[in-house]
Structure 1
Amino acid sequence: MHNSVYAPSLVDNKNESYFSYESMNKSIFTRLTIKESGLLQRFIMYEWDTEWKILYSLPHDLCDNYGQCGANTICKANRNPICKCLKGFAAPSEGELDIQNWSGSENCARKSPLCQGKEGFLKIAWVKLPDLKFRLNKSLTLKECETECLNNCSCSAYANLKVTGEGNVCLLWFGDLVDLREQYEGIRGEDIYIRVPASELQGSKKKWLKRILLGVSVPTVFGIFIFAVIFRISWKRKNRIRKENRKEKLDVPLFDLDAIVKATNNFSPANRIGEGGFGPVYKVNMGYSRNS
């Protein structure tokens, strides 16, 4: 959880692995309580105060209940139903991702076994990581963690845990993914990469494009088309005019001073026909040849 009261840290040694929480402010005391119903509450009290105040309570919603949804599902408290099979998995009864009469407590199964073809990883952001059957490695980068998982046919997902705030902590899951949930605002979330067939990744790109196309109304598409046509015509017209102007400039004849003096009869006042912004204007003898 992101706050100014305490910071989480990871304890991992030969005998045990667990999270601990260290106070970030010596003037604040915290304590945890858990009731018979399973309600967990964290209290805080300032050193100058005499009453404990509730910082948070769990479960915050139904998704905080352990195993609220079956294995290989994700729990999203803001949707109905709150349980949904992960991409690449299906509920056993119908083989579909969304089933209205599915209770959500059933486990979802992979549509196809691992290591049966080309595979990749689907990123799911800002979640509470699943429990059970995972292995921790403190020396692997995110990319190395992906390679390690892909080389093991039992590895179903991986993540790079950043709770320690330093170094790389690679987590690898084997078998079913249990108790995965989308985190709510104010609670720390991690990114997890679920192993799926390459076809599932390609399908997600096609669906993404389809959503964009479906989200654009027919009048909007027609308007964009008309704008594109007008823009194309305007661009071609301007380009043609630009080329014609350039050609006209190249066709302008050039005369030296001697030729101009002869053509205007030495700038005779009789040949002066007016005056412009750059000086007097003279008529020339059109019968004069440049080569004469």
Structure 2
Amino acid sequence: MRIGVDLVTGKSRHLTSWKTEDDPSAGPYVLRVAPNGYPQLFETQNLDSKSRFGPWNGATFKGMPDFGGNSIQFIFNDTGRYFGYNLVNSPQASRMRLKPDGDIEYLNWINLTQSWNAFSTATNDNCASYSICGPYGVCNIDNTPACSCLDGFEPRNAEDWRRADWSSGCQRIEPLACGNENGYGDSFPNITGVKFPDTNVSWYNQSMTLAECEVACKRNCLCMAYANSDITNGGSGCLLWFSDLVDIRLDDETQQLYIRMPASELTSPTAREHGSNKKKQTIIIVVSTLLGSILILALYLAWRKNKRSHKTILGRVPARNEKCANESGKEDKELSSYSLSIIANSTNNFSLNNKLGEGGFGSVYKGVLEDRQEIAVKRLSETSTQGQDEFKNEVKFIAKLQHRNLVKLIGYCIQEKERMLIYEYMAKKSLDSFIFGTYRSSTLDWPHRFHIIHGIARGLLYLHHDSRLNIIHRDLKASNILLDKDWNPKISDFGLARRFSGHETEVNTTRVVGTYGYIPPEYALHGLFSVKSDVYSFGVLVLEIVCGKKNQGFSHEEHNHTLIGHAWRLYNEGKSLELMSSSLGASCVESQVLRSIHIGLLCVQHHAEDRPTMLSVVLMLGNENALPPPKQPAFFTEEEMPDFGCISSGPTLDSVDEITITRLQAR
């Protein structure tokens, strides 16, 4: 038996725990092969990552139980990735089991006793908890506290770390120099004795040498670390990390990991020595601040008591004369309700100088709360096309979704006729302000665009597959992709989002809503939407990111095709590279550009069943395997575009959040 995923059919084979020892129905724990990035195994609990095994190093997965000398195999190619093992002593029966408590054990059958004997169990301690120390944190089970930062890093939130909350992780003490001197302003000191970080966002090439791997990482400012991918035969292959390094723990690993650091970081002690030093530093900090903490706590409680008249948790009684409350009266401790006076003060009474943008829903303002946190306030106008139901819909969904590529909702305000959503502030605003037009497009080079494409894909994969709700966004477009200060994309605006169940393949609606140019044909013409609707929108967005032109209203002097049709025509003529924006000429990686266009065309194919899932898209973006040829896309020419009576094509109002009535339709 093999555990893994078939990349052709999308079928997954995994282990699921029993609910209890006496109840064989499906329990909360699942062990599966990660579908994207460099191969590794994940154990989830109620769909949340519990622990990670790996990555695959050519011989084994770190943290897996001892298989008693049996040879472990992992096969990954264009058609799938599978994990299994071969018995050395073939007559002997053995099995691997995921227990109801989440432990993984390897068992042998003992003929003498006619029973199964547990030979080994996967290590399960606090450091096995996925990303317990956050980005760039290292977990050492022998230390107290267990978490410390890598050399050259410091806690992102020192106060949280003193409370043993390490989830915020660590940040660099000195900024990177990448971007100067073609990226060679940074150094790559190596560390050993650690389990390699999560390879979910990684790139690999099994035929490259370590020297070639170093050059590839140095030339890409988004590359945070590199290493050999295979420890057999003295080490070979190349593995590059393109996101924050998470889920690192102390281990007896001898394989070297090279981390991008400022040039000033010329030396790097081993993780073991580092952990010991950090332990001493932490003890000094704790002792020196013990008395001060008591005073700070007293002041904090007094401040909270005074603050409570201005800010209330959803479901509690607001301050006098304030009416910011959830009309349902149900408590949701994940969100805060803010008074109108607090929001008005933070935005300088909604000053024009604080205005970030405007749309059919109303305006967005930048604000600064009393604790200096920067926020973006989405203030719905009284004539907003987003109704009360859509407002509640957005609050309900975003409050329950947590992912690095989804915008974070901090709170909301409902007071008299005012309806406002309070988000984390995105320093670089929306994606459309960079990719459309010639002025700012030159500031967004290809490495950043490719990073943004990756991030959007991962966000959609989370919505469709990995979140606890399973969401179809239904309004994915460039203006709904926000960018933080590090160019990380965040999917926003969930006013049209709909939840679906695992058994549903399509849902039928009597009212079509969304944005002209991003809506697939089955939805526009028949009211059918599914996860493949979001895949279509993603494909349009990928082509727009590459081209720098909008699909809606695209024009070309030689034909009347849409942007999709133009991309299809160039693909058939073997001229796909001509689709690329001229501003990307100096920074582009041709193979990545061509692959992105190809994936975009696969996503906009006319029939929904031909389009890949977002799971497949993330896999295709993360490797260099051959891609299937795309079929002719939908809305090939402008004449094919339907007349959306309920959707405005004006310059500011791109989407109408009409209330939809949905019903299940058997397929």
Query: Per the shorter chain, which TM-score range?
Result: 0.5 to 0.7
Q: How many angstroms apart in 2 are the aligned matches of 1:75 and 1:18? A: 29
Cα 1:203/1:37, change in 2 over 3 Å: closer
- Are the equivalent residues in 2 in contact too, given 1:161–1:190 (CA < 8 A)? no
> Are the equivalent residues in 2 in contact too, given 1:6–1:21 (CA < 8 A)?
yes
Query: 2:178 is aligned with what amino acid?
Result: C
Instruction: Give 1:160 deviation, angstroms.
Output: 1.0
Match of 1:115 among 169, 172, 178: 178
Counterpart residue number, 1:195: 260
Give the match for residue 25 of structure 2: none
Counterparts of 2:189 and 2:206 in 1: how far apart (Å)? 22
2:71 counterpart of 1:7: yes
Offset at residue 37 of structure 1 (A):
3.2
What is the CA-CA distance between 1:49 and the residue it aligns to? 6.8
Query: Closer, same or farther in 2 for the Cα pair 1:199/1:115, shift >3 Å?
Result: same
Q: Which runs of 5+ in 1 are unaligned?
A: 212-292
The one-letter amino acid of 2:265's match is E
Matching residue of 2:165: 103
Which residue number corresponds to residue 180 of structure 1? Answer: 248
| TM-score, length of structure 1 as denominator length | 0.58
Q: How many residues align?
A: 203
Secondary structure, aligned partner of 1:200: coil
Structure-2 change in CA distance of 1:120 and 1:22 (3 Å): farther
Give the Cα separation in 1 of the matches to 2:231 and 2:94.
20
Q: Which residue of 2 aligns with 1:149?
A: 217
CA distance in 2, matches of 1:180, 1:12: 24
Work out which of the residue numbers 230, 245, 254 in structure 2 matches 1:162. Answer: 230
Quick one: distance in 1 between partners of 2:205 and 2:147?
30
Higher-RCO chain (CA-CA 8 Å, sequence separation at least 6): 1
Equivalent-residue separation in structure 2 for 1:177 and 1:203 (angstroms): 17
* Other-structure match for 1:222: none
Over the residues paired in the alignment, what is the CA RMSD in angstroms?
A: 3.4
| CA–CA separation in structure 2 for the residues paired with 1:43 and 1:198 | 50
Residue 14 to residue 70, structure 1, CA distance change in 2 (3 Å): same
Percent identity, aligned pairs only, is 33
Following superposition, the deviation at residue 13 of structure 1 comes to 0.9
Cα distance per residue 1:155-190 (max 9 Å; x no partner): 111111335658722111111112111225xxx663
- Counterpart in the other structure of 2:88: 24
- Change in Cα spacing, 1:167 to 1:94, as seen in structure 2 (3 Å) is closer
Aligned to 2:103: 39
Q: Residue 202 and residue 178 in structure 1: after superposition, are their counterparts in 2 closer, same or farther (change >3 A)?
A: closer
Select the structure of larger CA radius of gyration: 1
Q: 1:72–1:89: 8 Å Cα contact kept in structure 2?
A: yes
- Structure 1 residue 122 displacement after superposition: 2.3
- Which AA in structure 1 matches 2:195? K
User: Partner of 1:147: helix, strand, or coil?
Assistant: helix
Alpha-carbon deviation of 1:11?
1.8
Q: Which has the higher strand share?
A: 1
Moved over 4 A (4+): 1-4, 46-49, 163-167, 202-205
The answer to whether the aligner puts 1:61 opposite 2:129 as a matched pair is no
- Residue 9 and residue 195 in structure 1: after superposition, are their counterparts in 2 closer, same or farther (change >3 A)? farther
- Separation in 1, partners of 2:256, 2:225: 11
Q: CA deviation at 1:28?
A: 4.1
Q: Residues 140, 48 of structure 1: CA spacing in aligned structure 2 closer, same or farther, 3 A cutoff? A: farther
TM-aligned CA deviation for residue 154 of structure 1: 0.6
State the partner residue of 1:77.
Answer: 141
Output the amino acid matched with 1:191.
Answer: Q
Partners of 1:39 and 1:203 in 2: CA distance: 35
Q: CA deviation at 1:153?
A: 0.7
